[in-house]
């Protein structure tokens, strides 16, 4: 086979069913191999076995692959050309690394002999991507191409998932050699560390210490992070929580790990977490962190995070996360799904029983007293009302993708999620422009699901060219833009901390007509909503439309995201706004000059 055919054959062997990418000179041999493979391999319905989805630019391809991976649990695959093709994927690669999303990014590169000569469309991919990817391979020996490709998939999906970049010079793609059909690179160090984690099962003594802490607790609380979803451990975590009646609160990245409609589900905690969840963290005496890393959006002031916890337990697959931010009493590094099953099995074996009924009553009271709320009498359309109306139709079963900003937090707060992998958002990187391409990728991954992109007028501008991708491939993605004529989250901070100086965040003079833009890109349903009275009817039509649908909603430009915990502050300083109850007065601390959002 040629090197290009070898790459495509391994993609097929790895079970890849959708590719995302943009062509160019240095990647043409692989693109030609994809074409020939699809010509010779058809699905039962006559479609290509491995369709190649071409976006407006490579960043869109990267986010589509990330959306595909997040929604499916499979490895997303991106194929781009050298130079600008590769550099345009840096942001999706870093975004996926930050949120532990498995990707394999295949980059074309100038011929081996030309590397380092500043050849046309040459970029030092290994140097650039090495800082942001889980691993980077530059294939200069064509005899190792086959093993490298298999190893890339192994690295991307195992341990803590992440993006792996394979940089392939054009002469390696054109090389001819025997296809062995087996073999991987000798990654002895990685596999040894992975085997140590995989084989690190909980001992009876470790389980005994865990249940001793649980027996001494009156207010246990599970704090679930994105690792629960990435590790496919949601069912195991739910079983543990249900068996012993332990309430669950999730991070932004773990929405759906716990059914948000469950009586003991506390929804999201953190900087913009719901008030009841944050107060529960304040009250808890035993915090059980599962696949969570105590990041600054959750533990802005680590010393004051969960201040009444006598014990903190931490489960994680990454040893680097243990005690990195917050010292813990008990920890275990291993495969979450296995470890949670082992803990539950031990508890059943010793017939552990304890009633937390009083704590359950306190949780119910917290949820009642500090429920999410907003100005329901305003004549302006409130963003929270828009999401509540969509939620009536989606019922916690739709895939929700978002851009980054206020709309992202409103969606996280007001949508229900009955299952994992229904919530797609750029958490750690906070990348504007993520929502639309990620939604398209998710629709390819889950064609039977309703997929909705909740976006902002500023965020969607970043990758608005992907509207055409949705209609080109007839993907029935629903795109909702909440237009408050500016960078809403930035403006909220400028109001709070910069005396209302709206430096660079006001877009009220912009002339963009989003509805016409969507129509120009082929959306048959493209409407603007600016009348509160029409909200239920328009949302109904939007949700019922068969095919790509676009809706712009003009919302109250002064609507804010509450609750809010200022950077570096504890939950006792939480600001709840005018419509959500607070049990304490927020402090007058302001962020320091080095602190960001």
3-state secondary structure labels for all residues of 213-267: HHHHCCCEEEEECHHHHHCCCHHHHHHHHHHHCCCEEECHHHCCCCCCCCCCEEE
- Can you tell me the distance from the alpha carbon of 107 to that of 149, in angstroms, rounded to the nearest whole number? 12
Residue in 268, 489, 543, 574 annotated catalytic:
489
Q: Is CATH 3.40.50.970 what the domain over 383-554 is classified as, yes or no?
A: yes
Q: What Cα–Cα distance (Å) separates residue 62 from each residue in 16, 58, 107, 231, 443?
A: 15, 6, 12, 22, 15
CB atoms within 10 A of CB 178: 9
Our separate counts of H helices and E strands in the chain read 23, 18
pLDDT of residue 273: 96
Would you give the DSSP letter of residue 48?
B
Contact 66, 127 (CB under 8 A): no
Report the half-sphere exposure of 293 (CA within 13 A, side-chain side): 19
* Helix 336-349, helix 234-244: angle, nearest 10: 30
Active site residue 533: no
The active-site residue out of 1, 9, 74, 121 is 121
Q: What burial class does residue 353 get, using C-beta atoms within 10 Å of its C-beta: 0-12 exposed, 13-18 middle, 19+ buried?
A: exposed
Which tokens is 10 given? 């391994």
CB 193 within 8 A of CB 325: no
How confident is the model at residue 495, as a pLDDT? 87
Residues 434, 435, 440, 442: is their CA dihedral positive or negative? positive
What are the Cα distances from residue 171, in Å, to 9, 26, 37, 115, 185? 18, 9, 20, 11, 21
Q: Is 63 a catalytic residue?
A: no
Q: How many residues appear in the chain?
A: 597
3-state SS string for 307-345: CCCCEEEEEECCHHHCCCCCCCCEEEECCHHHHHHHHHH
Active site residue 120: yes
Entry pTM: 0.95
Is-catalytic flag, 413?
no
CA distances from 123 to 18, 57, 104, 396, 468 (A): 27, 17, 18, 44, 29
| From 14, 58, 282, 321, the catalytic residue | 58
Task: Please give the angle made by the CA atoms of 394, 373 and 430, to the nearest 5 degrees.
Answer: 65
**Alpha carbon 173 to chain centroid distance?**
33
DSSP 129: H
d(CA 477, CA 124): 36
CA 46-49-54 angle, 5° bins: 105
Catalytic-labelled residue, pool 170, 367, 478, 527 = 170
* 354 catalytic residue (yes or no): no
Instruction: Please give the Cα distance from 561 to 574 (Å, whole number).
Output: 12
* Cβ proximity of 85 and 22 under 8 Å: yes
List beta partners, residue 347. Answer: none
Judged by DSSP in three states, 382 sits in coil
Both tokens of 418, joined, read: 């009955």
- Tokens representing 107 are 């980059």
Determine whether domain 3-196 maps to CATH 3.30.70.1060.
Answer: no
- pLDDT at residue 169, rounded to an integer: 98
SS3 of the chain: helix, strand, coil, percent, to 5 = 40, 15, 45
Start-end ranges of CATH 3.40.50.970 in the chain? 3-196, 383-554
Domain with CATH 3.40.50.1220 in the chain: 199-369
Nearest to 162 by CA among 224, 46, 76, 246: 76
List of the chain residues with pLDDT < 70: 585-597
Superfamily of domain 199-369: TPP-binding domain (3.40.50.1220)
- Looking at residue 596, its pLDDT comes to 44
pLDDT for 128:
97
Tokens 């992109």, located at residue: 453
CB neighbour list of residue 353: distance below 8 Å, 6 or more residues apart: none
């Amino acid at each position: 086979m040629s090197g290009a055919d070898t790459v495509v054959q391994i993609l097929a062997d790895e079970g890849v069913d959708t590719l995302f990418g943009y062509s160019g000179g240095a990647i043409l041999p692989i693109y030609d191999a994809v074409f020939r493979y699809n010509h010779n391999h058809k699905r039962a319905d006559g479609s290509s076995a491995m369709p190649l989805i071409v976006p407006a630019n490579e960043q869109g391809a990267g986010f589509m692959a990330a959306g595909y991976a997040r929604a499916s649990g499979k490895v997303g695959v991106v194929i781009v050309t050298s130079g600008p093709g590769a550099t345009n994927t840096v942001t999706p690669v870093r975004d996926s690394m930050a949120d532990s999303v498995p990707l394999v990014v295949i980059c074309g590169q100038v011929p081996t002999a030309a590397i380092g000569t500043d050849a046309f469309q040459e970029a030092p991919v290994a140097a650039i991507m090495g800082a942001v990817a889980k691993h980077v391979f530059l294939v200069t020996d064509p005899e190792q191409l086959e093993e490298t490709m298999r190893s890339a998939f192994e690295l991307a999906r195992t341990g803590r998932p992440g993006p792996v970049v394979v940089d392939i010079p054009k002469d390696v793609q054109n090389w001819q050699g025997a296809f062995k059909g087996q073999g991987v690179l000798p990654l002895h160090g990685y596999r040894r560390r992975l085997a140590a984690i995989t084989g690190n099962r909980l001992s009876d003594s470790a389980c005994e210490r865990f249940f001793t802490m649980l027996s001494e607790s009156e207010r246990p609380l599970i704090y679930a992070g994105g690792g629960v979803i990435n590790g496919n451990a949601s069912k195991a975590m739910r079983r543990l929580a249900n068996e012993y009646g332990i309430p669950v609160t999730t991070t932004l990245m773990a929405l759906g790990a716990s059914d948000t409609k469950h009586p003991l589900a506390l929804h999201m905690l953190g900087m913009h977490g719901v008030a009841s969840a944050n107060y529960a963290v304040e009250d808890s005496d035993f915090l059980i962190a599962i696949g969570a890393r105590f990041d600054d959006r959750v533990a802005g002031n680590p010393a004051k995070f969960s201040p009444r916890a006598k014990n903190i337990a931490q489960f994680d697959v990454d040893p680097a996360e243990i005690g990195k931010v917050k010292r813990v009493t008990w920890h275990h590094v291993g495969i979450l799904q296995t470890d949670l099953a082992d803990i539950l099995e031990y508890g059943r074996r010793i017939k552990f029983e304890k009633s937390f009924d009083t704590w359950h009553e306190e949780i119910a009271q917290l949820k009642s007293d500090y429920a999410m709320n907003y100005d329901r009498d305003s004549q302006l359309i409130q963003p929270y009302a828009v999401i509540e109306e969509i939620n009536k139709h989606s019922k916690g079963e739709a895939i929700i993708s978002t851009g980054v900003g206020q709309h992202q937090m409103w969606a996280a707060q007001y949508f229900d999620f009955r299952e994992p992998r229904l919530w797609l958002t750029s958490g750690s990187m906070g990348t504007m422009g993520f929502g639309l391409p990620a939604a398209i990728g998710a629709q390819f991954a889950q064609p039977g699901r309703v997929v909705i992109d909740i976006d902002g007028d500023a965020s969607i501008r970043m990758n608005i060219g992907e509207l055409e991708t949705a209609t080109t491939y007839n993907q029935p993605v629903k795109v909702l833009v909440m237009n408050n004529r500016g960078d809403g989250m930035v403006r909220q901070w400028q109001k709070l901390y910069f005396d209302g100086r709206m430096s660079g965040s006001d877009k009220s003079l912009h002339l963009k007509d989003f509805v016409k833009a969507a129509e120009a890109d082929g959306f048959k349903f493209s409407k603007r909503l600016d009348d509160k009275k029409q909200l239920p009817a328009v949302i109904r039509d939007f949700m019922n439309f068969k095919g790509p649908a676009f809706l712009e909603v003009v919302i109250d430009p002064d609507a804010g995201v509450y609750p809010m915990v200022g950077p570096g502050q504890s939950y006792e300083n939480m600001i709840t706004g005018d419509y959500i109850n607070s049990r304490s007065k927020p402090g007058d601390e302001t962020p320091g000059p080095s602190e960001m959002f």
